[in-house]
Structure 1
Amino acid sequence: MNRIVTGNLGPDPGQEVTQALGLAAFQLLIATLCMTPMQRWTRWGGWIRVRRMLGLFAFFYACLHVLSFLQFILGWHDLWATFTKRPYIIAGSVAFLVLVPLALTSTKGMMRRLGSDWKRLHRLIYVSVVAAWIHFIWQARSDVGEMLIYGVLVAGLLWLRARWIGWNVLIPFVREQRSIK
């Protein structure tokens, strides 16, 4: 991001901007997933209050990433050929499209309207973060070290949730099994 501010973007500034926006969106998605473990470890409820804002920031940066891709790289034409020739774009599209209903239902009014279905819907963030990671790892040409680190972080965060709540929590729209004691 610093290279954008200083104007040192190299020979393909559009590519640099698009990648920086996508990485920022991905990092914000990971930060969003970090809020629940932080709340559990510190017992401070403020982490959860920040979670929605981080998710909306992730969606905002993802929108900017998609728009910059269409403007600087693709040129707003021949979308179908791009999808069929570059499978990493399919994974990125899944990651982005899954975020749309999450952003649209992030208001308190929608939380009330959807009730318990709101939580199950918002489990789609797990699908989005995994698809975003696949998007990044597939497009990497040679240096995949950074994306492997992100992959380990995402896997660790998902493992924590599964360990605390159960593996079903990672699957969107599945009702939690309540044991009667």
Structure 2
Amino acid sequence: MQAVNQIVRKMPVWAVYLLGALPAPWFLYLALTGGLGVEPIEALEHKLGELALQLLIVGLAVTPLRQYLGLNLMKFRRAIGVLAFSYVALHLLVWLVLDVQQPSQIWADILKRPYITVGMAGFILLLPLALTSNNLSVRRLGPRWRKLHKLVYPAILLGGIHYVMLAKGFQLEPLLYLAAIIGLLILRLPISGLMSRGRQADSA
């Protein structure tokens, strides 16, 4: 794992931003050229939302990967979080501008459709995290910054629930996403951290 970590240390953070941003114009191109099927707007929403959830899961996995496998991706965690929020915002923007289109219908949909209510709640929790994902906020907020950014835990859980509720009929994929989120959250419980430190001490 040390060899992998050495390669990771040499990789610039801007490369993660660049690679993470590439799917957005590609999905848009597919939507405009018929590559997303007969319902391109719905498919574009799905693609953006799914990628946002994937990035949130990757960001949530950074700490457990370091604790349990020794893989250190901490330098990329902020970039992954910013990219995840960007795709959440694009997912929401496509729904607002291309899907709903009528401003008067937006609030009605949020109230009447539970999966939209849950999704909006998750977005609202992510919003202050995105606004404070910069060095100035870290310095100004001090210890409160870490406490504030723990909002990502309920936010990503709401995202997983949103995906499950959105699925039509029984679909295994959304359930697997939700299971991965719950599993990663369990690994962050204090007892899991104590067990991890205990194993590290035994192997030292």
TM-score range, shorter chain: 0.7 to 0.9
2:110 and 2:120 in contact (8 A); partners too: no
Q: Are the counterparts in 1 of residues 129 and 148 from structure 2 also a CA contact under 8 Å?
A: yes
1:45-88 Cα shifts (integer Å, max 9, x gaps): 4x111111000000000110000011221114211211122110
The residue number in structure 2 matching 1:15 is 42
Matched, 1:40 2:67: yes
Q: Matched residues in 2 for 1:4 and 1:73: separation?
A: 14
Which segments of 5 or more consecutive residues in structure 1 lack a partner in the other structure? 167-181
Aligned residues: 165
The correspondence of residues 58-69 of structure 1 with structure 2, limited to 5 A, is 58-69=84-95
Task: Return the match for 2:134 from 107, 130, 153.
Answer: 107
Partner of 1:164: 192
1:114-144 superposed Cα distances (whole Å, 9 cap, x missing partner): 1111111000000110111111111111142
Superposed displacement of residue 89, structure 1: 0.4
- State how 1:65-104 maps to structure 2 within 5 Å: 65-77=91-103, 78-104=105-131
Q: Does structure 2 retain, via aligned residues, the 8 Å contact 1:25–1:59?
A: yes
Amino acid in structure 1 at the alignment position of 2:87: Y
Which one has the bigger helix percentage?
2
Q: Which has the larger radius of gyration?
A: 2
- For residues 28 and 112 of structure 1, the distance between their equivalents in structure 2, rounded to whole angstroms, comes to 26
Q: Letter of the aligned partner of 1:51 in structure 2? A: R
- Name the counterpart of 1:49: 75
When the two structures are superposed, what TM-score results if normalisation uses the length of structure 2? 0.75
Q: Secondary structure, in 3 states, of the residue corresponding to 2:188?
A: helix
Q: How far did 1:41 drift?
A: 2.8
Equivalent residue of 1:8, what SS?
A: coil
Per-residue CA deviations over 1:86-133 (Å, capped at 9, x if unaligned) read 110011101111111101111112111111111110000001101111
Question: How far apart, CA to CA, are the structure 2 residues paired with 1:50 and 1:39?
Answer: 13
Contact 2:121 2:158 in 1 (8 A): yes
Q: Does 1:117 align with 2:117?
A: no
In structure 2, distance between residues paired with 1:76 and 1:99: 25
TM normalised by structure 1 equals 0.84
Aligned to 2:13: none
